[in-house]
Chains A and B, each alone.
Chain A
Amino acid sequence: MSNTSSSSSSFVKTSVKQPYIWAIAALVLLLIINLIKDPSYLGISVNAVTGDLSGNLIDILRASAPIMMIAVGMTLVIATRGIDLSVGSVMAVSGAVSMEFMHDAGDGSLGSALMAIALALGISAFLGLINGLLVSIVGLQPFITTLIMMLAGRGLAKVITSGQNTSASNEFFRWIANGTVLGFPVVFVIGAVIVAIVALLVRRSALGLMIESIGINPKAARMAGIRPVGLLIFVYILSAVLAGVAGIFSTASVMTVEVAKTGFSSEMDAILAVVIGGTSLAGGKFSLTGSVIGALLIATLDKTIVFLAIPSSATPAFKAIVIVAICLLQSQRVRALFSQRRARTSTPRKEAVSA
Chain B
Amino acid sequence: MFKAPRFRSIAGLALVGAVALSLSACSASGGGDDASGDGKDLTTIGFVAVGPEGGWRTANEKNIQDSFSEENGFELKYAPATNGDQNSQITAFTSFIDEDVDAILLSATEATGWESILERAKEAEIPVVLLDRGIEPNDTKLYTSHIAPDNVGISASAAEWANKQFPNGGNYVVLEGPPGLSVVNDRNKGWDEKIDSNLTKLESQSANWSTEEAKSVFETILKANNNNVQLVFAQNDEMGLGAALAVEEAGLKPGTDVKIITIDGTKAALEALSAGRLSFVAEYNPLFGDTAIDVVNKAIAGDKVESDIVVPSVTFDSPEAAKTALPDRKY
Contacts and interface: CB of A to CB of B under 8 A. Distances in A.
Going nearest first, the 7 A-B pairs with the smallest beta carbon separation are: A49-B251, A312-B206, A261-B210, A313-B179, A306-B220, A309-B203, A163-B52
B202 interface: yes
Nearest to B57: A260
Contact of A154 (B54, B83, B249): B83
A214 B100 CA distance: 52
B268 A167 contact: yes
Q: Which of A164, A254, A309, A315 has the most CB of B within 10 A?
A: A254
Nearest to A299: B216
Q: Which of A259, A261, A315 has the most CB of B within 10 A?
A: A261
Interface of B: 51-55, 58, 82-84, 176, 179-180, 202-206, 208-213, 215-217, 219-221, 223-224, 238, 241-242, 245, 249-252, 268
Interface string A131-154: 000000000000000000001001
A307 B211 contact: no
Interface in A46-77: 47-50, 54-56, 59, 63
A50 B247 CA distance: 12
Nearest to B217: A306
B250 A47 contact: yes
Contact of B54 (A49, A178, A258): A258
Given A164-B58, A307-B220, A312-B204, A262 B83 contact: no
A229 to B, nearest CB: 32
A292 to B, nearest CB: 19
A58 B212 CA distance: 17
Contacts of B82: 151
Interface residues of A, number: 39
A349 interface: no
Contact of A261 (B208, B250, B268): B208
B291 to A, nearest CB: 24
A214 to B, nearest CB: 32
Q: Which of B208, B210, B220, B251 has the most CB of A within 10 A?
A: B220
Interface of A: 37-38, 47-50, 54-56, 59, 63, 151, 154, 158, 163-165, 167, 178, 250-251, 253-254, 256, 258-262, 264, 302-303, 306-307, 309, 311-313, 315
A309 B206 contact: no
B224 A50 contact: no
Nearest to A43: B223
B249 A50 contact: yes
Contacts of A165: 54-55, 211, 238, 268
Contact of A306 (B205, B208, B251, B268): B205
A234 B141 CA distance: 58
Q: Which of B211, B213, B241 has the most CB of A within 10 A?
A: B211
A260 B212 CA distance: 12
B179 A312 contact: yes
B210 A164 contact: no
A165 B52 CA distance: 9
Given A253-B212, A254-B241, A311-B204, 10 more contacts: A47-B251, A59-B223, A163-B52, A165-B211, A165-B268, A167-B268, A256-B238, A261-B209, A307-B223, A312-B204
Contacts of A158: 52
A261 B203 contact: no
A158 B58 CA distance: 12
15 contacts: A37-B224, A38-B224, A47-B250, A50-B251, A54-B250, A59-B216, A165-B55, A165-B211, A167-B268, A256-B241, A261-B209, A306-B217, A306-B221, A309-B224, A312-B205
Nearest to B176: A312
Nearest to A49: B251
Contacts of A262: 212
A260 to B, nearest CB: 5
A2 B54 CA distance: 61
Nearest to B184: A312
Nearest to A88: B83
Contacts of A38: 224
A213 to B, nearest CB: 36
A63 B203 contact: no
A164 B55 CA distance: 7
Contacts of A312: 176, 179, 204-206
Nearest to B224: A307
Contact of A55 (B203, B215, B223): B223
A274 to B, nearest CB: 22
Contact of A254 (B58, B180, B208, B242): B242
A306 B212 contact: no
A165 B242 CA distance: 13
B220 A254 contact: no
A59 B219 contact: yes
Contacts of B268: 165, 167
A261 B220 contact: no
A183 B208 CA distance: 30
B278 to A, nearest CB: 15
A311 B51 CA distance: 28
Given A256-B211, A311-B204, A56 B83 contact: no
Contacts of B53: 260
A10 to B, nearest CB: 38
A54 B219 CA distance: 10
Contacts of B58: 163-164
A47 B241 CA distance: 22
A195 to B, nearest CB: 21
A290 B297 CA distance: 61
A50 B204 CA distance: 27
B212 A258 contact: yes
Contacts of B202: 309
A43 to B, nearest CB: 10
Contacts of A178: 249
A312 to B, nearest CB: 4
A254 B212 contact: yes
A313 B52 CA distance: 24
Nearest to A66: B212
Given A38-B224, A48-B251, A254 B211 contact: yes
A253 B215 contact: yes
B220 A258 contact: no
Nearest to B178: A312
